[in-house]
Structure 1
């Protein structure tokens, strides 16, 4: 089974007639290889192996788990060039972006290794007369993690690092189009953590459905709202942790810092805009609207596909992006020069959009910003809050009291002031409304993968 799961050739054929997944190079649109998807036998075998590894992994002291996760971080760093190549092959992102994300993943394993050693619980005490009580945080069990294609390795790190640190074996299902770096991580995890502690199941949607229904103890899913709803329905009473995307509003006041537009253009085009927390909907006051559109268009025109950011990940996403842009009722479209090959899309600004425009209501997930006007700050907040998603937002103003007051009024799980996409392992990232339920990053993420046990003893 291990050979089928981890060591299948990037370009190969199925000997048993199983349809092969085609892997597309988003830089050219050409098929770069094939992959045999995991099916029922592989999923069942992986779950059984994780069950076998569960007791031994959970029994390790936090100090020993920290040591082993540190060893995994060292392997990631030692083979950073291999991880960068794997990420670039699957996503097409620039090598510099991939290298930064590989470093972040190594940091995540180290961070959570240490965080698990400092876990807190309600203090032991005499809460009932004649009794002593305390709370233990225990691993939830076998975790199934399903991660998307936009940050293949980084999202694997967000899910796997806290789950492993909390004492759970993990079954990781990467996106169909980007299994490369996850397979490399699995090989290094077996070396650093032991057999069965982290297993990768490459495959398609059917593989994911099989994994969700395989009897794991928790399902951690990062992806689309439709995918999250399907996972929640199939999971039944199994606990789920869901991060389901965003459509981030950006409130820019007339006194915003001078570098606001360059900062937003860079954040929007990072990873070709394929980030759940990327800036998406710029909202400005009426009196500053025309100047804002012009300044943002100029900043976006300086961001070039192929030089500053990569292509969209797959043909389906490119077709969806094109549909949203084509169906938009925007009266003004500002587009930077792009490339005609592969799945590259240019940095784009849409202005003068009608109410309910698809480019505003839907999460575009590409290098695109819309610009909306508001008569007052109250109207701007109402526009910001007018979509189902509530993952991230930002406010831009030199008036810090006003800016901080606006951050209080925005219901997103993460709000920035005069910056965007500024994240650290120490700070929680969570969605509200249709953006999901659960927490990634920070020590709070450990709670996603633990359950409390209250122990009360009568004093004799």
Structure 2
């Protein structure tokens, strides 16, 4: 029997959870149990679904301190961020609690005047969710809540590093949801493959390589699939920007949560005369950014999730000229200092997502070159643009090939009532979050209602 173990990245000797992996057969059985529960859930009506999701939000609020503390311990998220994630997760569930009452379709006039044409969106059945460790509460929330609101049941396969968080979330939701609607299957690749091979719709967030495999497997079965697979995000800073404010935003987006966000800034593009003042401002911001124990409310940059993750970051920046750097504490924990470097053309930092507190500084002659540099990567999740000029914003908005563009704001940060997702290798399928999420978790049907024979009215 395979065992799933997670460790505290701030204190690797602290074993957070040890549990048996579900295995492929048990994962398939979980999907079948969910399918049985889903039939009654979908038929139960809007009031029951809305009330259950509202109870789920309240249950998460009541357990917020425990959920946040476990998030700090298991994945090393700084306490202030962990508390914010728990609160946001509750808000997500409460937001989707209103959606069962929303329109499920539309009525259209018949072309020949007789009868009616209807469209109606219906749930798929069981939504299989494969989620990462870096947002162990919010990402399961923004997938599961709309899936349930639409009338589906959910089976969640969390990343092994966030197993304890997923189990506590399931225990919390058990007080609010009918049996069988939200099931967690601990495990790794075997369980993820089994879920992808049995669920009626599949939603994935994780690495590009794993996402491609999930998309291929689900597509081969002919079931709906969406995948959010990371980014190599750019911050573009123009000379007319508030340089100090831009540097503060970039430092936090580069190093917050040790850069372990798909929306983290990995490239900083300084346009024209912005280069030197931005270089100095970033050196100041990174130098004073708090790095250390994630349980300290003042910490912004905690540990990497594992030794391998820390080593990848250090290897990616090795030998490159350092523009700005923070500090790293000694002692246990997978810490590394946040760093901004200069990277030559073709370097891996300009091609690959490293997923850590490291970014490359690039000069651009003008906005046109900055846009070209911003687009010159396989990913297309988010770009931040820092400027005081409306003309510059309008010039760049539709030319930047990313799913999201944030003006005078960090690349990190998500508004859960708006669509979330990227272009190119950053995403596949419909967007997540907001009302758009319901489009993925339902299928549209068209009904033709013609009058009985001999009747025209």
TM-score range, shorter chain: over 0.9
Contact 1:407 1:416 in 2 (8 A): no
Contact 1:57 1:167 in 2 (8 A): yes
More displaced stretch, 134-143 vs 33-42: 33-42
Partner of 2:295: none
Q: 1:422 to 1:175 in 2, by over 3 A?
A: closer
Contact 1:143 1:169 in 2 (8 A): yes
Asked whether 1:365 is paired with 2:355, we answer: yes
Supply the distance in 1 between the matched residues of 2:322 and 2:301 (Cα, whole angstroms).
Answer: 24
Q: Under a length normalisation based on structure 1, what TM-score does the superposition of the two structures give?
A: 0.92
Count, aligned residues: 439
1:168 shift after superposition = 0.5
Contact 1:425/1:441, CA 8 A, preserved across alignment: yes
DSSP 3-state at the match of 2:162: coil
2:369 is aligned to 379
5+ residue gaps, structure 2: 293-298, 453-457
Could you tell me how far 1:333 is from its partner in structure 2?
4.4
Tell me how far apart the structure 2 counterparts of residues 120 and 248 of structure 1 sit (CA, whole Å): 36
Work out whether 1:221 is the aligned partner of 2:204.
yes
Please tell me whether the aligned partners of residues 384 and 410 of structure 1 are also in contact (alpha carbons under 8 angstroms).
Answer: yes
1:11 is aligned to none
Conservation of the 8 A alpha-carbon contact between 1:21 and 1:34: yes
Q: Distance in 2 between matches of 1:167 and 1:184?
A: 23
RMSD across aligned C-alpha pairs, in angstroms?
A: 1.6
TM (normalized to structure 2)?
0.92
Quote the Cα distance in structure 2 between the aligned partners of 1:57 and 1:364: 42
Question: Which consecutive residues of structure 1, in runs of 5 or more, have no partner in the other structure?
Answer: 1-17
1:239 and 2:239 correspond: no
Q: How does 1:347-426 map to 2 (within 5 A)?
A: 347-351=338-342, 353-420=343-410, 421-426=412-417
Cα distance in 2, alignment partners of residues 128 and 48 from structure 1: 44
Give the corresponding residue for 1:79.
63
Aligned 8 A contact 1:22 1:31 in 2: no
Given that 2:279 and 2:323 are in contact with CA atoms closer than 8 Å, whether structure 1 keeps it comes out as no
Given that 2:12 and 2:333 are in contact with CA atoms closer than 8 Å, whether structure 1 keeps it comes out as yes
State the distance in 2 between where 1:377 and 1:317 align. Answer: 34
**CA 1:22–1:373 in 2, change beyond 3 Å: closer, same or farther?**
same
- The correspondence for 1:299, drawn from 273, 277, 285, is 285
Q: Secondary structure, in 3 states, of the residue corresponding to 1:440? A: coil
> Displacement of 1:295 after TM fit?
1.5
- Partner residue of 2:455? none
**Runs (4+) of structure 1 moved beyond 6 Å?**
none
| Residue 197 (structure 1) aligned to one of 166, 181, 185 | 181
* Cα distance in 1, alignment partners of residues 111 and 199 from structure 2: 35
The one of 48, 62, 74 aligned to 2:46: 62
CA contact (8 A) 1:338 1:346 kept: yes
